[in-house]
Amino acid sequence: MTEVSTYDKFCIKLDEACKCYEMMKSIISREYVITDRDHNEILGAGSTIAISLAKEFIFEAARAYRICEHSWNLMGINKIDMKIFITSLQNLIRSRDVNEHWTDSVNIKQKSRPQKHKVGEINVDDTSFIIINGNLSFGNLELDKYYRAVKKMNDLYGWKARAMKSIVEKKECEI
């Protein structure tokens, strides 16, 4: 089996995070509706899938965060871009820890316990998925904000950016 580079892993995580978020938005906006084979809408399926996609977005973004945090210099990522990305996702990382570990039966860490928040007039905790005026939130985190940070990094250093860089480098070698 071919070894997958750290940069490849980073691109995979960025790409997966973006796809999860975009699919979640499409389901919530009803661009996509979940139906049975007779094309009857399955009530409740869309919201269940959207919540799963939100959690997966958080997980994939957190993996990209950790790869970038520890290996940015090995992948040729600009230090300023790395710092912006890491800073932008810090609160999301806590949310990932809570959503992954809050049900652990033993040795649950304080940082992994859901905390209460107020979003507008609504009381939520870190495991709540809410939509207010079209804004998607997990607890008190507006997912749009985190998606923009992941998307920007994907645009700068993801598969398409790597392909363009490779084309430019090839052209420069030919000159």
CA dihedral 91, 92, 96, 98 (to 10 degrees): 30
DSSP 8-state assignment for residue 102: T
Residue 104: both structure tokens together:
């652990």
In contact, 118 and 111? CB cutoff 8 Å: no
In contact, 68 and 83? CB cutoff 8 Å: no
Q: How far apart are CA 83 and CA 95, in angstroms?
A: 19
Please give the pLDDT value at position 168.
64
Residue 90: both structure tokens together:
């810090």
Residues in contact with 159: Cβ distance below 8 Å, sequence separation at least 6, in sequence order:
11, 15
Sequence spans of domains, the chain: 6-174
Query: pTM of the full predicted structure?
Result: 0.83
Q: Which regions in the chain score pLDDT beneath 70?
A: 1, 98-99, 101-114, 134, 166-175
- Residue in 45, 48, 25 with CA at minimum distance from that of residue 36: 45
**Facing residues of 119 across strands?**
122
Tell me the residue ranges of DSSP E strands in the chain. 116-119, 122-125, 129-132, 135-138, 141-142
Instruction: Please identify which residue in the block is written with the tokens 């749009």.
Output: 144
In contact, 23 and 54? CB cutoff 8 Å: no
Tell me the pLDDT tens digit for each residue of 35-83.
999 999 998 898 899 989 998 999 999 999 999 999 999 998 999 999 9
Residue 15: both structure tokens together:
């790409």
Name the region of 67 (left: φ>0; alpha: ψ -120 to 50; beta: rest): alpha
